A and B are shown apart, each in its own frame.
Chain A
């Protein structure tokens, strides 16, 4: 089971890997990213502007007033 020929294999593999993969340089980010992350988390969620609400209301009103637009609209969605 314990073949002495295989005892050196892990070491040889380590060496091989070290020669194949170059060491990572500048692994750390250039600046601290945590404050930016906190700002994003604390930022208020994006709000829907009033003109989009107006557009939605107008669209719903138009569909209620002219229900025959609905099949044609659904056909193009």
Chain B
């Protein structure tokens, strides 16, 4: 069971956002095309569709590779990911000339702790659970 540890780590990491994306995308498509939501989210959809799941997979590989050196709980390690993701998301949005709504900037003080908490819980219970199933916890 010690074979392909990093492949299993990647698959365990990528699984959660990939499943979640299905529901998020369904919601966005319904909002955009049925209820005529005025934000053209399809211009920046590459970020949650491609970058985020792959970064979760790579982050889990990094956790499995460094856990003996770092001695950091998986929840705390996962909580560090939004610190990398947030500027990346901002960069993608800026490069694609997507106008960030002003409301978004005003809710940043609330968004940051909520994102950290969600990532902490998701990594502690969901990704760690998948790691246990795949024998790499």
Contacts and interface: CB of A to CB of B under 8 A. Distances in A.
Interface of A: 48, 52, 55-56, 58-59, 62-63, 66, 68-69, 71-77
Contacts, number: 56
Given A68-B103, A68-B104, A77 B111 contact: no
Interface in B2-48: 17, 20-21, 24, 27, 39, 44, 47-48
B70 interface: no
Interface of B: 17, 20-21, 24, 27, 39, 44, 47-48, 52, 82, 85-86, 89, 103-104, 107, 110-111, 113-115, 117-118, 120-121, 124-125
Given A52-B124, A55-B121, A73 B114 contact: yes
Given A59-B121, A66-B107, A69-B110, A75 B89 contact: yes
Contact of B111 (A52, A55, A56, A73): A73
A75 B103 contact: no
26 contacts: A48-B125, A52-B121, A52-B124, A55-B121, A63-B114, A66-B110, A68-B104, A68-B107, A69-B110, A69-B114, A71-B39, A72-B111, A73-B111, A73-B114, A73-B118, A74-B24, A74-B48, A75-B44, A75-B89, A76-B48, A76-B89, A77-B17, A77-B21, A77-B24, A77-B48, A77-B52
A68 B111 CA distance: 9
Contacts of B27: 74
Contact of B115 (A55, A58, A66, A76): A76
**A52, A68, A77: which has the most chain B beta carbons within 10 Å?**
A77
A34 B81 CA distance: 40
A77 B20 contact: yes
